[in-house]
A and B are shown apart, each in its own frame.
Chain A
Amino acid sequence: MHKGPSIHIENVTKRYKSAQEDSLSHVTLKINESDVYGLLGPNGAGKTTLISILCGIIPPSQGNISFYIGGVEISGIERRSRLGFVPQEYAFYQELTPRQNLDYFGAMYNLSKGVLSERIGELLDELGLTKVADKVVSTFSGGMKRRVNLAIGLIHKPAVLFLDEPTVGVDVQSKNAIIKYLREINRAGTTIVYTSHHMSEAEEFCNRIALIDHGKVVAEGGMTDLLAENNVSGLQDLFIKLTGEEYRD
């Protein structure tokens, strides 16, 4: 059930100090509660910059971002407590075990020891990591590391989860396990904002998308509406139609 915008991005522009052009230019988007919202675009389009701004890693040069949970605006520490972030990199400690990583990052979310212990057990089980829970992550395959990366972003049961390329470089089994689990938490009420280069995965997974190119939103809306409006059969065709076939490096 949608209760209005969960994230309200209003006229957000970002220009890095040494840059000649805006990385994001006057972006305005509304992401509803319980959406699986895809931020799609070619390399250098500005997707990661937008996610970094939404997560509070970098500030926008101009514009506003508002977060709402149950219709109530949240900010500051509360906002950071309710957001989850899964970066594209393996942003955790490979010398630690999955349990130790989850224990550390969970503590950083102010979870109590008891709650944390229970939640770690749940996540390890859901993401198929129980058997390797006490082995150091550096020995893991790419797919297992992706699942550890995801588990850390979910340790505190976030209301909004930001995923930057969560399935890049993983095998089909791990990709399926990750998408399956993300669907489950979305059904349970978590809003997901997601970037990917896998068009078929995004088409299947997202209910709404924003197509970004050269820092600007070139298309935004529900998946089926956008495909119909542009008279294309799939997301990949829409992507090529709106962003062209030139290389983006």
Chain B
Amino acid sequence: MFKFFSSIRKEFILLVSDKVGLALMFLMPLLLVFIITIIQDSAYKIVNENEIPMLVVNHDEGNQGNKLLDLLITSRLFKIDTLNSLPEKALKKELLARGKMIALFIPPNFTSGLESNTGEVSHMMMRDFGLETDSAIVKTRDMPALSFYHDPVLQENYSASVMGVIDSYVGVIEKSMMIDRIYADMDMEPKSEKLNEKMAVNRVKINQIIATNGNSVAVPNSTQHNVPAWTIFAMFFMVVSLGSNIVKERVNGSFLRLKTMPTSFMLVMFSKMAIYVVVAISQVALTFSVGIWILPKIGLPELTIPTNFPAFAAVVLISSMAAVSYALLIGALAHTQEQANGFGAISIIIFGAIGGILVPTFVMPEFMQFASNFSPLHWCLEGFYILFLKGGSWHELRWVILFLGVFILICQLCTYIKLRIEKII
């Protein structure tokens, strides 16, 4: 036991003496979590929050422009700023200056154009029905066009969905105008208030249900993505500290010296693993605490911890073991500390990029999504996603545990073989 304690103590002293390694392992994830969460938060808010900020410039000479505006306001999907005095030419500049992502321009002929076209349709219908109307001469005008401006960074599918919403409200107006016109052409009283109300509510509803297992429903936001993602990134970045630590001991002869002593080399490796698993767990504790207590204080979303705590602990542990095993492998393969640091760091950045740390895998092309399966960081992140966003069960975690288990085994086996080849074990 004294031997084990001494070995652990040695590893701890080596760890705390590596100031750069400690900074990379503890300060880097905190900085990344703060910076990236703040940057991404506005984008997540745009996607997830109910009110999308929109600038509306209404130059309509009739009343249908205002009706459209009312419909957009009452939908509660948009937070609308109106600036009717603004000429259309200045709209682009104003949009960017006000920091709005989208703007809608309603042209002066919006009402007159709609009236002209609904009149024409109504006239054709009357003729088809065999009814004569007073409005025999209908002057057709071009269908009015709304202009939708958006920030160039806005994703295409997002713009399309907002345009779809506007289009559906224009459709409501057109339908209402059409019926009004038919009533008028048939010399009937304007349609009743009851019919107006019925038309307003008579729309198919779509119920939105988030597909999670269990009762935990955490809405995806910048915190829920960034805190686990950058924690995993930092866990694997221990390759810089642990990898170079191993190279140093291999190169300076300490490992060979230990081989001449009545001790098991496994004790040495086990001590290293134990210390660095504790480091990884501490990284999780630190960054997750920041996510729970600090981020909400600066206006960012709070991190929601999963309810299945044993599964959460298992994902943390297996992710830590994967990070430690990878660092051991790099330490065993590299010939110099520079190699371990350079290759180790670059490989983690690449694994992080293809693994969905920088951008989620679902936005990647298909072949990159396939490639992400080969990144251990992807599986670690997947484990956290299953727990955080889907309220995951052990059953759902089985592939994560299987892949990471195999990854750990391969890394440990390759490390063992390399150290055997070097006659260290």
Contacts and interface: CB of A to CB of B under 8 A. Distances in A.
A105 B261 contact: yes
Contacts of B263: 108-110
A107 B256 contact: no
A227 interface: no
A135 B6 CA distance: 18
A87 B253 contact: yes
B367 interface: no
B260 interface: yes
Contacts of B258: 108
Interface in B1-50: 2-3, 5-7, 9-10, 13-14, 17-18
Interface of A: 52, 55-58, 77-78, 80-81, 83, 85, 87, 89-93, 95-96, 100, 103-105, 107-110, 112-113, 136, 152
B414 to A, nearest CB: 19
Interface of B: 2-3, 5-7, 9-10, 13-14, 17-18, 249, 252-254, 256-263, 423
A95 B9 CA distance: 13
Contacts of B262: 77-78, 80-81, 108-110
A93 to B, nearest CB: 6
Contacts of B256: 52, 57, 87, 91
A229 B423 CA distance: 40
Contact of A104 (B10, B17, B260): B10
B261 A109 contact: yes
Contact of A110 (B3, B10, B254): B3
A81 B263 CA distance: 9
Nearest to A81: B262
Contacts of A80: 260-262
Given A89-B252, A91-B254, A110-B3, A57 B17 contact: no
Contact of A100 (B2, B10, B259, B260): B10
B260 A85 contact: yes
A95 B257 contact: no
A100 B7 contact: no
23 contacts: A57-B256, A57-B423, A58-B423, A83-B260, A87-B253, A87-B256, A87-B257, A90-B253, A91-B253, A91-B254, A93-B14, A93-B254, A95-B13, A95-B18, A104-B6, A104-B9, A105-B257, A107-B5, A108-B3, A109-B261, A109-B262, A112-B2, A152-B257
B2 A107 contact: yes
B257 A100 contact: no
A85 B253 CA distance: 11
Given A55-B260, A56-B259, A57-B256, A107 B3 contact: yes
Contacts of B259: 55-57
Given A91-B252, A95-B13, A96-B13, A107 B257 contact: no
Contacts of A81: 262
* Residue picked from A81, A107, A110, most chain B C-beta under 10 Å: A107
Contacts of B18: 95
Contacts of A136: 17
Contacts of A152: 257
Contacts of A57: 256, 259-260, 423
